[in-house]
């Protein structure tokens, strides 16, 4: 088999690859896999609708490229120059036109595009995406042909095997005609789970039948050390190997000289999470999958109680590093949310707003959960206790929503207080208005707010 590899085109032959995994394959995990020796890294599945809604932003602070959802300022995809030659973005889609459009949105910042044709989850199946495409080969081929024609980078697809080996080979031959650069094969059917054996002989038959690289997947159950990757490659007769669950548990499986101790892997992961401002819930989810039964230890229990990236980093002696980095990054959140508000014209100006504007004490401030580790520190709690202490009526909150963003006004002691910063959920919006009120009550001063990145 000949692989035409050059600077511009990603080669899929003789590679060891980080497989796409939902919620796992964000930028920190992809960079970690590259650090440890992976040749190619796939993103988690990103739905075509969301990619099409995104705008591209060069993030000077993080030295990254961000694709941000215009509707709520969520970072849908973050990448950087380090991974550009090796990252493949996986798209969830059921429509050729949308798939092509989504691929074009990100084409300039990735090395390849993959179409998910193997996900067995209900969400994908009901939407005609993922493994649903295995049973609609004409649409699957139409999607691949559309994307191949729309972009100049390699296009692949990742599938699951069918019940019958001959049917699976026939399907792969049909998909290969569309011009894809490689096909990834998970050796289980839609109904089968990790407890079932991987159908390695299916993958071998496909590899022998095609003249493009075939990437074997599904062997994590037998892969414990690096040498097992090579065994899996030989058993399946494939061009390359794609690893999911084993890498999820300990990403240093990619190291040829042996795996690292798990706590070292977690520290390495956290460095990337901090450097690229990865959201705490996602980082926590990734680490939980690494820890597994170690969560029963004292450190594991403290980890489960953590709610912020800073708290997680404290457990692995990276707290100071995290705090220093996050102060700089908080300013980014103001800018990104402003773009979302302005682009979608979320800040509604009507007669009621104009009548009430003179009565609202307003600041542009942001609620940052990590600054309030104890329940009694939360701005709403602090304001409530202040009211009780000074025999004042309890604060009342009114929150307005526009699409996916929220802004709250708190009425306290016959005055109204609000942040002009739109938050992503109602609870945070209420906390933001409480911060403004506490500032006017001289509980929080301007210097405190600036130092902690609260004030925009």
CA distance 423 to 432: 8
pLDDT reported for residue 8: 61
pLDDT reported for residue 456: 66
Bridge partners (DSSP) of residue 411 are: 396, 416
Q: Which fold has domain 359-455?
A: Double Stranded RNA Binding Domain (3.30.160)
Chain position carrying tokens 């990254």: 64
pLDDT reported for residue 451: 64
Among candidate residues 88, 300, 329, 320, the one with its CA nearest the CA of residue 213: 88
pLDDT reported for residue 409: 95
The rounded Cα 79 to chain-centroid distance in angstroms is: 11
Encoded tokens for 123 = 């969400």
- Write down the domain spans for the chain: 15-256, 261-344, 359-455
Element (H, E) at 260: none
DSSP string, 117-180: E---SHHHHHTT-GGGGGG-HHHHHHHHHHHHHH-SS-EEEEEE--SSHHHHHHHHHHHHTTT-
CA distance 377 to 387: 15
CA distance 391 to 384: 11
Instruction: For residue 66, give every residue at least 6 positions away whose Cβ sits within 8 Å of its Cβ, in sequence order, or none.
Output: 56, 57, 58, 59, 75, 77, 78, 336
Note the CATH number of domain 15-256.
3.20.20.70
Element (H, E) at 186: strand 182-186
Residue tagged active-site, from 11, 54, 80, 119: 119
Instruction: For residue 414, give every residue at least 6 positions away whose Cβ sits within 8 Å of its Cβ, in sequence order, or none.
Output: none
Chain position carrying tokens 């929220």: 406
Encoded tokens for 166 = 């001959």
Q: CA separation (Å) from 327 to 216, 332, 428?
A: 43, 10, 19
Burial 118-142 (b: 16+ CB within 10 A, else e): bbbeeebbebebbbbbbeeeebbbb
- 437 included as an active-site residue: no
Three-state DSSP class for residue 380:
helix
Q: Which stretches of the chain drop beneath a pLDDT of 70?
A: 1-8, 330-358, 451-453, 456
Instruction: For residue 371, give every residue at least 6 positions away whose Cβ sits within 8 Å of its Cβ, in sequence order, or none.
Output: 377, 452, 454
DSSP string, 42-79: EEEEEEHHHHHTEEEEEETTTTEEEEEETTT--EEEEE
pLDDT reported for residue 452: 65
DSSP string, 302-344: HHHH--SHHHHHHHTT-HHHHHHHHHHHHHHHHHHHHHHHHHH
């Amino acid at each position: 088999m000949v692989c035409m590899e050059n600077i511009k085109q990603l080669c899929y032959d003789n590679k060891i690859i980080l497989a796409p995994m939902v919620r796992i394959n964000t930028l920190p995990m992809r960079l970690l896999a590259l650090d440890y020796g992976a040749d190619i890294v796939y993103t988690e599945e990103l739905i075509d609708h969301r990619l099409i809604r995104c705008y591209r932003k060069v993030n000077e602070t993080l030295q990254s490229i961000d694709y941000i959802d215009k509707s709520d300022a969520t970072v849908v995809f973050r990448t950087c120059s380090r991974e550009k030659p090796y990252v493949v973005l996986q798209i969830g889609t059921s429509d050729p036109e949308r798939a092509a459009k989504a691929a074009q949105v990100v084409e300039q910042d990735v090395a390849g595009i993959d179409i998910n044709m193997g996900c067995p989850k209900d969400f994908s199946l009901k939407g005609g995406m993922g493994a649903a495409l295995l049973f609609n080969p004409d649409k699957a081929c139409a999607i691949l042909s559309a994307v191949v024609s729309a972009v100049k980078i390699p296009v692949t697809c990742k599938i699951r095997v069918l019940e019958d080996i001959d049917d699976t080979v026939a399907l792969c031959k049909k998909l290969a005609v569309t011009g894809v650069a490689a096909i990834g094969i998970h050796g289980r059917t839609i109904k089968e789970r990790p407890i079932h054996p991987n159908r390695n002989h299916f993958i071998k038959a496909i590899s022998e039948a095609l003249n493009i690289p075939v990437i074997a997947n599904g062997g994590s159950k037998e892969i414990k050390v690096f040498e097992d990757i090579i065994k899996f490659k030989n058993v399946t007769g494939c061009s390359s190997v794609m690893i999911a669950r084993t890498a999820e548990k300990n990403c240093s499986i990619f190291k040829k000289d042996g795996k690292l101790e798990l706590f070292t892997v977690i520290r390495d992961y956290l460095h990337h999470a901090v450097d690229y401002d990865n959201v705490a819930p996602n980082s926590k989810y990734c680490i939980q999958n690494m820890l597994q039964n170690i969560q029963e230890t004292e450190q594991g229990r403290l980890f489960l109680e953590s709610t912020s990236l800073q708290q997680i980093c404290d457990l692995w002696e990276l707290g100071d590093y995290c705090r220093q980095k996050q102060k700089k990054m908080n300013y980014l959140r103001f800018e990104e949310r402003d773009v979302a508000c302005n682009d979608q014209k979320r800040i509604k100006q009507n007669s009621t707003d104009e009548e009430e504007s003179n009565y609202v004490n307003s600041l542009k401030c942001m609620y940052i959960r990590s600054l309030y580790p104890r329940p009694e520190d939360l701005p709403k709690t602090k304001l409530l206790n202040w009211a009780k202490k000074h025999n004042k009526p309890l604060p009342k909150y009114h929150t307005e929503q526009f699409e996916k963003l929220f802004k709250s006004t708190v009425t306290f002691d016959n005055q109204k207080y609000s942040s002009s910063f739109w938050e992503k959920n109602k609870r945070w919006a209420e906390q933001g208005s409480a911060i403004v009120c506490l500032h006017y009550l001289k509980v929080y001063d301007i210097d405190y707010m600036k130092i902690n990145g609260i004030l925009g």
